[in-house]
């Protein structure tokens, strides 16, 4: 299938010490792609570039074969929805009001919602299990609930592509799994094209069709979870001793983090890792 959202040899530099370079790939409808990489490797910036929020130095982002820079913001919002890492709500909007904000790009000048908008919002809330939170204030919600509400808002946008920036970083294991289950059911059921940035490598490997490993602004590897998540790649990129084996149930790569002190890793033969220091 033709990718709907394509990056062609993107480069972008931020100040003098930091850059993204040579990024090319496409996000297709119906696939879930996980983006992983150490802190500061450029994941969030790449996500913002994909949404047309950052102008690149070279290369271009094509949305349905047209440069994303040629779209107006509301036109982009009808195709791409973004779920931020965390959202600040200064005022106590109700959950329903927050979800309805996703209809913005579909409304004309008349500033009020119609019945159809409410139906779409409620349908998104039903799919994300937030319908019974409808009347609650956004401030009263737990981290997991808030994240599901933000996903409901993205669904209400009726876009084909959804980009999520570390949606599980604040959540406990149960809620992490719930979010991944939700995302992957949306991809399978509704055919969205989804890109998710995550630090939960094993979990992402369990659910994603493809993975992209970013290292210092470059594409270190892209491919199936088996190809991308290996002991060598993760060690090299994260500069951290790990062991990658297979999850016995799902047969997907599983990352075990080891201690930097070899004597603590009693039963596992691990070569000591050359310490390169952490990057900025």
Partner 1 sequence: MGLRGARDQIVTPLRVLSIGIILSIVLAAVAFISLSMGPAKVSMGTILGWCAGMGSVDQTTSMILANIRLPRILLAGLVGFTLSLGGVVFQALLRNPLAEPFILGISSGAAIGAIAGIVLGLGFSVGVPLLSFISALATILLVLGISSRHGGLESSTLLLTGVIVNAFFTAVIMFFIATASDSRLHSMLFWLYGDLSQSKYIQFSLCLPLVLIVSGVIYLFSRHLNLIVGGEEPALQMGVEVELVKWVAFIGISLITGVVVAFSGIIGFVGLIVPHLMRMMLGPDHRLLIPASALGGAVFLVAADTVARMIISPSELPVGVITAFLGAPFFIYLLKRKGSQWNQD
Q: How many CB atoms lie within 10 A of CB 69?
A: 12
**In this structure, is the dihedral angle defined by the CA atoms of residues 203, 199, 165 and 171, taken in order, positive or negative?**
positive
Please classify residue 262 by burial: count the beta carbons closer than 10 Å to its beta carbon, then call 0-12 exposed, 13-18 middle and 19+ buried.
Answer: middle
Beta-ladder partners of 19: 13
DSSP-derived secondary structure for 119-184: HHHHHHHHHTT-GGGTTSBGGG--HHHHHHHHHHHHHHTT-SEEEEESTTTT--HHHHHHHHHHHH
| Binding of partner 1 by 145 (CB under 8 A) | no
Q: How far is the CB of 138 from partner 1 (least distance, A)?
A: 9
| Binding of partner 1 by 64 (CB under 8 A) | no
Q: Which of 157, 160, 198, 215 binds partner 1 (CB under 8 A)?
A: 157
| Binding of partner 1 by 111 (CB under 8 A) | yes
| Binding of partner 1 by 19 (CB under 8 A) | no
Nearest to 214 by CA among 149, 123, 131, 279: 279
Q: How far is the CB of 24 from partner 1 (least distance, A)?
A: 23
Q: How far is the CB of 106 from partner 1 (least distance, A)?
A: 8
SS3 call for 244: strand
Please classify residue 214 by burial: count the beta carbons closer than 10 Å to its beta carbon, then call 0-12 exposed, 13-18 middle and 19+ buried.
Answer: buried
Q: How far is the CB of 14 from partner 1 (least distance, A)?
A: 15
| Binding of partner 1 by 169 (CB under 8 A) | no
Q: Which of 66, 73, 126, 260 binds partner 1 (CB under 8 A)?
A: 73
| Binding of partner 1 by 139 (CB under 8 A) | yes
| Binding of partner 1 by 246 (CB under 8 A) | no
Nearest to 3 by CA among 63, 58, 52, 43: 63
| Binding of partner 1 by 115 (CB under 8 A) | no
Instruction: Using CB under 8 A, count the residues that bind partner 1.
Output: 37
| Binding of partner 1 by 158 (CB under 8 A) | no
Q: How far is the CB of 97 from partner 1 (least distance, A)?
A: 6
**Range in contact with partner 1 (rule: CB under 8 A) among 32-40, 111-119, 189-197, 232-240:** 111-119
* Buried b or exposed e, range 120-131, using 16+ CB within 10 angstroms: bbbebbebbebb
Q: How far is the CB of 93 from partner 1 (least distance, A)?
A: 6
| Binding of partner 1 by 90 (CB under 8 A) | yes
Q: Which of 92, 250, 259, 278 binds partner 1 (CB under 8 A)?
A: 92
| Binding of partner 1 by 82 (CB under 8 A) | yes
**Range in contact with partner 1 (rule: CB under 8 A) among 33-41, 66-74, 123-131, 230-238:** 66-74
Judge whether 265 and 2 are in contact, CB under 8 Å. Answer: no
| Binding of partner 1 by 266 (CB under 8 A) | no
What is the C-alpha to C-alpha distance for residues 240 and 255, in angstroms, rounded to an integer? 11
Binding site for partner 1 (CB under 8 A): 51, 53, 72-78, 81-82, 84, 87-94, 96-97, 100-102, 104-105, 107, 109, 111-113, 118, 134-135, 139, 157
């Amino acid at each position: 299938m033709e990718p709907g959202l394509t990056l062609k040899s993107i480069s972008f530099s931020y100040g003098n010490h930091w850059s993204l370079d040579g990024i090319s790939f496409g996000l297709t409808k119906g696939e879930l792609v996980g983006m992983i990489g150490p802190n500061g490797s450029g994941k969030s910036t790449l996500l913002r570039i994909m949404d047309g929020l950052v102008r690149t130095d070279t290369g271009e982002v094509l949305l349905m074969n047209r440069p994303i820079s040629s779209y107006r913001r509301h036109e982009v919002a009808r195709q791409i929805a973004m779920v931020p890492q965390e959202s600040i709500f200064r005022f106590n909007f109700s959950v329903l009001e927050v979800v309805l904000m996703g209809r913005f790009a579909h409304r004309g000048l008349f500033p009020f919602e119609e019945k159809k908008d409410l139906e779409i919002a409620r349908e998104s809330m039903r799919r994300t299990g937030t319908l019974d939170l409808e009347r609650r204030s956004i401030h009263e919600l737990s981290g997991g609930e808030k994240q599901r509400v933000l996903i409901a808002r993205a669904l209400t946008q009726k876009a084909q592509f959804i980009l999520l920036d570390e949606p599980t970083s604040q959540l406990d294991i149960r809620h992490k799994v719930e979010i991944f289950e939700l995302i992957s059911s949306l991809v399978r059921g509704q055919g969205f094209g989804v890109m998710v940035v995550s630090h939960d490598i094993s979990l992402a490997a369990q659910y994603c069709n493809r993975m992209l490993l970013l290292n210092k602004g470059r594409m270190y590897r892209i491919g199936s979870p088996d190809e991308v998540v290996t002991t060598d790649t993760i060690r090299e990129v994260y500069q951290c001793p790990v062991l990658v084996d297979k999850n016995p149930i799902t047969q997907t790569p599983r990352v075990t983090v080891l201690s930097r002190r070899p004597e603590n890793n009693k039963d596992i033969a691990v070569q000591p890792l050359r310490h390169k220091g952490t990057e900025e």
